[in-house]
Amino acid sequence: MGISPLLFIAIPLGAAALVALLSRARERAGDVVASLASAALLALSLALVRRILDGETLSYDLASSSPLGLHLSIDGLSLLLLSIISLLTLMADLYAVSYMERYTSKPRYYVLRLLMATGLNGAVMGADLLNLYAGMEVACLSCYALVAFGMERDYLGASFRYQVFGALASLLIIVGIALVYRTAATLNLVELRGVVAQQGMSPVLLFSSVLFLTGFGIKAAYMPFHTWLPDAHSVAPTPVSALLSGIFIKVAGLYALARLFLSVFELTATLSMVLMVMGSVSLLVALLMALAQWDSKRLLAYSTISQMGYILLGLSIGTPLGILGALFHLVNHAVFKSLLFFNAGAVEAATGTRDMKELGGLNQRMPLTGATCTVASLSISGIPPFNGFWSKLLIILAAVQAGYPAFAAVAGLGSILALAVFLKLERYVFFGSLPQRLARVREAPLLMCVPMALLAALCLGIGLAFPFFIHNFLDPAKEVLSRLTLVR
């Protein structure tokens, strides 16, 4: 069975063109085409699991002699991210069928959404830095447009802010790439690893790693580079928020950081400490800021920054257990954070507000949204047996094992604060008394409920069957990153 990595780019790109063409004749074509494309990609990535487990790496080279050659490869880490991208885009597409009705020109949403998936898939499969960068740029450009999709002041303002930060980050990264190429004469990630292992980290490479840290740090919204995120993620249309928080910042920022600093450059003790501090600060400070929010989606956006802190903390510990915990948390966060955004969007769609002070008692009127939100809240706060518990546990254990009890304590404290944040969300939105104004609120439409129920089932399913999940998806991805991590 031949599955070419090129399919992961060709399918969403073709689907985007198809939606654009068909939308003139049939307004609803986008609903079907986009969901089918995501489902096909999900099926393809699941079909590859066995082959990757057997240690195979799929690669594809197009026109390797021309300057803009396309070098793609799928290893364990790429496959893990490809699967999550496809899963979340499928859920977001189902959700968008009814949710995006409120916006004009729904087909354009699908075109941009598919282009974003094209870019993300291209970035995670990029076998060299240039391909990674190009994929990320495509995804970012469609993201700017998606954040501004509502075309009102809030949307445009948030998008503009995001554009300024995103553009600066991209420029820092491309200058870093140029410096790497000047020193190492290659951009291929595998060859680059060889060069770095042979020559060590020269001052120029160190400088470019600072550029990468800042550039990708902005894209991943680590403190102190986070200021664009709460606006962009809270005003964007809900399926976009879910994708942005769930997968976009992880691929555009964190994935590149992990690839570069764990498997290409050497993770020196200093660098590891810098990353751990960056992660812990994001983790704690963002939670305190989340606690102060009254806009439900804004609260979730701040909580995203803190959860990204967990992932960075786990990765930068650098031990196999830490990397495993971080990757596990990456998957889990993608699942429960998109679910939480779907919940907040369903509540907004039903009541017309995101202000938690005006809500309350919605469990009576929206039982499914309430129940799935409870599952997601328990998950994100790390309550067993939900999936968030295991990944946080792994990260804390890894920190203790590597001799960083202080960071383990920070991670534990973060879990307690997260519980406080989500108790607030639950208390003010779903429990308490139902205001008179909301007495006639109805449950979200079926197509919005289906993705919420599926994601909630996944929260519980991954939590219960975590050994199976770790073996099939996470171990191959961990292998990729821990092949060349530091020996303590």
For other proteins, the binding residue among 178, 277, 291, 397 (CB under 8 A) is: 178
Does the CA dihedral 16-19-23-28 come out positive or negative? negative
Helices within 200-268 (DSSP H only): 203-219, 229-235, 238-243, 249, 256-258
Contact 222, 306 (CB under 8 A): no
Dist. CA 23–CA 359, nearest whole Å: 37
Q: Which of residues 222-251 bind other proteins (CB under 8 A)?
A: 231
The one segment of 27-35, 110-118, 134-142, 480-488 that binds other proteins by CB under 8 A:
134-142
Q: Binding of other proteins at residue 414 (CB under 8 A)?
A: no
Name residues whose C-beta falls within 8 Å of residue 219's C-beta, 6 or more positions apart in sequence. Answer: 136, 140, 166, 169, 249, 252, 253, 256
3-state secondary structure of 355: strand
User: What is the token pair recorded at 403?
Assistant: 């001799």
Least spacing, CB of residue 427 vs other proteins, in Å: 21
For other proteins, the binding residue among 23, 45, 86, 170 (CB under 8 A) is: 170
Dist. CA 117–CA 124, nearest whole Å: 11
Q: Which of residues 420-449 bind other proteins (CB under 8 A)?
A: none
Q: Binding of other proteins at residue 17 (CB under 8 A)?
A: no
The one segment of 94-102, 170-178, 270-278, 379-387 that binds other proteins by CB under 8 A:
170-178
Q: Binding of other proteins at residue 342 (CB under 8 A)?
A: no
Q: Using alpha carbons, select from 206, 211, 202, 140 the residue that is nearest to residue 175.
A: 211
For other proteins, the binding residue among 17, 36, 40, 156 (CB under 8 A) is: 156
Least spacing, CB of residue 164 vs other proteins, in Å: 6
Q: Binding of other proteins at residue 174 (CB under 8 A)?
A: yes
Name residues whose C-beta falls within 8 Å of residue 36's C-beta, 6 or more positions apart in sequence. Answer: 15
Least spacing, CB of residue 78 vs other proteins, in Å: 21
Least spacing, CB of residue 182 vs other proteins, in Å: 5
Dist. CA 145–CA 350, nearest whole Å: 25
Report how many residues bind other proteins under the rule CB under 8 A. Answer: 38
For other proteins, the binding residue among 8, 109, 133, 228 (CB under 8 A) is: 133
User: In the complex, which residues of this chain contact other proteins (CB under 8 A)?
Assistant: 66-68, 130, 133-134, 137, 141, 144-145, 148, 151-154, 156-160, 163-164, 166-168, 170-171, 174-175, 177-179, 181-182, 187, 231, 295, 298
